[in-house]
Structure formats: structure tokens, C-alpha cells
Amino acid sequence: MARETTWNDVYAVADRFRTFDQPWAIAGGWALDCFLGEQTRPHGDVEVAVFREDQQRLREHLSDWAFEVAIPGEGRTEPWPAEEWLALPHHELHAHNDAFELPHLECLLDDHDGEAWVFRRDDRVTREREKVIRVSETGLPYLAPELVLCYKLPIFGDHDEADFDRVHPQLAPEPRRWLRDAIATVEPDHHWLDEL
């Protein structure tokens, strides 16, 4: 079983991406902790989000890493051949490098239509690109918490409920409204709407 990850792992990944010349952000549970300014629960991995259009630049940046792509709905991965372009529904990459401090990294491909981020599960949900990535007080780029919570639909486990309970009271009014509208679009009967 993989070890739990720490802030040291997050900063090691950030250091590795400092020279990546395209937008990138810490994603998943660690993004929520970047927003909150503290670690709130154990994390099994570190996730990094990049835009789909930059997938080959990602491979070049991590040229000493081996990549696998997750096969949607099948719970397995397979090697990602060089030069293969990944279109939807593929969005999750697993990178491996035993020589790195954190030997496993999950990379997520986000989509946009030019000016706006587009939710890969429902393209009716969009967000201005300048609101997609925030920067923590310690300089870590992270995916905006309202987007991370949106990605947790449908809920995958108790940790998702706990993440929502911790984060949504801290959202400013505009991101809170955006999240409410996004959930109402994707899952209009979702119980999180009662809290928003």
C-alpha cells in the first residue's frame, strides 16, 4: 500500500513543476488544504492538474517518468504510448519515477474552450480561466476549491462529504454561488444544495 503523502511531497512536486511553462495546479484534496492553509486529513497521493492541450508538454517536462493512462470505468491503467493524443473521456494519468522523492504522481487533464474552463463531465458548466487557479500564501498554485468540490460529484466516499463540510463555509460569496449553480446544473437533487 502506498504511503500517505505530506506537505514535503507537495512542495517537492511543486519544485519539479516550477519550470513547466504552462498553467498547472495542485489538485484534489491537497488543493483544498492549500485553500484552508492546513492539512485537514490524510492524503494518499498528490495530484497535479494541467490543461489537456499541454499533455505532450507535460510528458516532455517529466521525460524521466513512465506514464500510464487510466481507462475510464474499468478501474485499470495501461501504458500511454508516446505521441498518442488523449481525448475525452481520458483525463487521468499516472506517472512513475522511483528515483523521485514521491515515486507516484497523478496528473489530471482539464479542458477549456479558449476563455473558459469546461467541466469534463458536463460542458454546460464553465468557469473563467482566470478563476481556475489560485496561489496559496506559500506560493503553491492550486485548483480553485469550488472546482475541486465540483469534481467530487458524484460523491465517492466519506472523505468527500468531510471535504465539503470543511470547505464550503470558507468560500467567498461568488465561488459559493458558482458552486451552487454548477451542482444545480449537474445534479439538481444533490443534498449539498441545501447547504449552499
- Contact in structure between 92 and 61 (CB atoms under 8 Å): no
CATH class name, domain 7-187: alpha beta
> For 5, which DSSP code?
B
Cell numbers standing for residue 157: 466516499
- At 158 the pLDDT is 87
- At 57 the pLDDT is 97
3-state DSSP assignment of residue 12 = helix
- At 1 the pLDDT is 43
Q: pTM of the full predicted structure? A: 0.94
Per-block mean pLDDT, blocks of 10 residues, the chain (196 long): 86 96 97 97 96 97 96 94 94 95 94 95 96 96 98 84 96 98 96 94
Calculate the CA 122 to chain-centre distance. 16
- At 154 the pLDDT is 79
173 backbone dihedrals φ, ψ, rounded to 5°:
-55, -45
The DSSP annotation for 85-134 comes to: PP-TT--EEEEE-TTSSS-EEEEEEEEE-SSEEE-TT-TT-EEEGGGTEE
- At 129 the pLDDT is 95
